[in-house]
Amino acid sequence: MNGLSRRERQIVDILHRLGKATANEVHEALPDAPTYSAVRATLRILEEKGQAVHELDGKRYVYVPAEPKQVAAQSALDQVVKTFFGGSLEGVVRTFLSGKESQVSEDELSRISKLIEEAKKQEGAL
């Protein structure tokens, strides 16, 4: 979502969270919402930027994100890892686990360990 304003990112986030939404639903979900007309204009801009598309539902436009949530999440995560951790996944994990706010349960650690083992197996199979 590089090149998007804060408000544009908020709207794309809402579309991902809701799956699809009318301009009115986006307007209602926005914190400190601008006018309804401004929301509609921003949705049109997001379409021009390739971040949203609309479908017709009767006379209403229903907006959906242009890319699936998982693709957008992967892209955003890749950008964070590259920008803040020099591309190091180890740095991300170390930072996360050392944070005072992060409480990782035994179950989560076990699931993470399984994911790491699966990744090792896949790497070995290549």
Say whether both 68 and 99 belong to one domain: no
pTM score, two decimals? 0.67
The percentage of residues in the chain with a pLDDT greater than 70, rounded to a whole number, is: 95
Say whether both 40 and 94 belong to one domain: no
Least confident stretch, 3-17, 22-36, 68-82: 68-82
pLDDT band at 10 (very low <50, low <70, confident <90, very high): very high
Reply yes or no on whether the pLDDT at 38 is more than 70.
yes
Reply yes or no on whether the pLDDT at 18 is more than 70.
yes
Query: Residue 96's closest CA among 88, 104, 108?
Result: 104
Say whether both 12 and 65 belong to one domain: yes
Reply yes or no on whether the pLDDT at 19 is more than 90.
yes
**Digit-coded pLDDT (tens) for 82-95:** 999 999 888 888 88
pLDDT band at 2 (very low <50, low <70, confident <90, very high): low
Say whether both 53 and 81 belong to one domain: yes
Reply yes or no on whether the pLDDT at 102 is more than 90.
no
Say whether both 54 and 101 belong to one domain: no
> What are the backbone angles phi and psi of residue 52, rounded to the nearest 5°?
-145, 155
> What are the backbone angles phi and psi of residue 67, rounded to the nearest 5°?
-125, 150
CA distance 35 to 27: 8
Say whether both 71 and 14 belong to one domain: yes
